[in-house]
């Protein structure tokens, strides 16, 4: 079993969510943030962006390492902002997304999902492995909640069943129980345990 891994990210919220999960899921593993502004290429999939991002991160953080690329995909906008989520958060922001959906008054018209592509490099294997996580839901009618980050105030996950809270109204524990991020990290955990079992 490995005992140390970097999470290379400039986003402290992402780091804190990953740490909360991994501390419990893999208690012997020391997780550290390798903070930097890692370049994101314009590409059509999260996986392409992630594979590029990890190459840059490997120079900055030698050793075991993971990065992730995440995005919010809105069905009626043909998956926008998707791979452009970082840029759209800084420009249109949550308010701009709500305006884009202004004429969509039915919940079914506001279907969306968060997806994460986590890209892991382990020194002993010298290989890159990809783990994905996704949570379905819809975009609310106004911003609600003060927790979380990014598009959390406008995203209402379908889980747990019957949920009406936005991610920003959930506690960190509630968000981590269903989030795209922890789902991808859970796949990583399962794989790590399998590949390192005697």
List contacts with ligand ITT (CB under 6 A). Answer: 9-11, 14, 38, 68-71, 85-86, 89, 114, 148-152, 167, 179, 181
Quote the least distance from Cβ 108 to ligand ITT, whole Å: 22
Which tokens hold the place of 30?
């020391």
Name the nearest CA neighbour of 21 among 158, 178, 194, 192: 178
Nearer to ligand ITT, 104 or 181 (CB): 181
By beta carbon distance, the residue nearest ligand ITT is 150
Taking the C-alpha atoms of residue 198 and residue 190, their distance in angstroms, rounded to an integer, is 14
- The kind and range of the H/E element at 16 are helix 12-25
Nearer Cβ to ligand ITT, position 26 or 118? 118
Cα 90 to Cα 6: distance, rounded to the nearest angstrom? 26
Nearest distance in Å: CB 36, ligand ITT:
7
Q: Residue 80 or residue 167: which is nearer to ligand ITT going by CB?
A: 167
Q: Tell the smallest beta-carbon distance from residue 155 to ligand ITT (Å).
A: 7
Strand blocks (E) in the chain: 4-8, 30-34, 65-74, 111-122, 127-139, 155-157
Candidates 20, 69, 103, 158; catalytic one:
69
Can 69 be counted among the known catalytic residues? yes
Positions annotated as catalytic residues are 69
């Amino acid at each position: 079993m490995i005992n140390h891994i970097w999470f290379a990210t400039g986003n402290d919220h992402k780091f804190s969510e990953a740490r909360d999960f991994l501390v419990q899921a893999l208690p012997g593993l020391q997780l550290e943030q390798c903070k930097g502004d890692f370049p994101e290429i314009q590409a059509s999939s999260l996986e392409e962006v992630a594979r590029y991002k990890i190459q840059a991160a490997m120079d900055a953080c030698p050793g075991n390492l993971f990065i992730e690329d995440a995005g919010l995909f809105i069905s009626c906008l043909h998956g926008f902002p998707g791979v452009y989520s970082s840029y759209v958060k800084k420009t249109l922001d949550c308010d701009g997304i709500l305006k884009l959906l202004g004429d969509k008054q039915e919940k079914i018209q506001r279907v969306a999902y968060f997806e994460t592509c986590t890209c892991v490099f382990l020194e002993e294997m010298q290989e890159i492995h990809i783990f994905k996580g996704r949570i379905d839901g819809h975009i609310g009618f106004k911003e609600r909640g003060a927790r979380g980050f990014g598009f959390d105030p406008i995203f209402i996950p379908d889980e747990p069943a019957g949920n009406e809270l936005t991610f920003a109204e959930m506690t960190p524990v509630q968000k981590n129980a269903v989030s795209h991020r922890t789902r991808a990290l859970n796949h990583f955990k399962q794989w790590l345990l399998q590949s390192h079992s005697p």
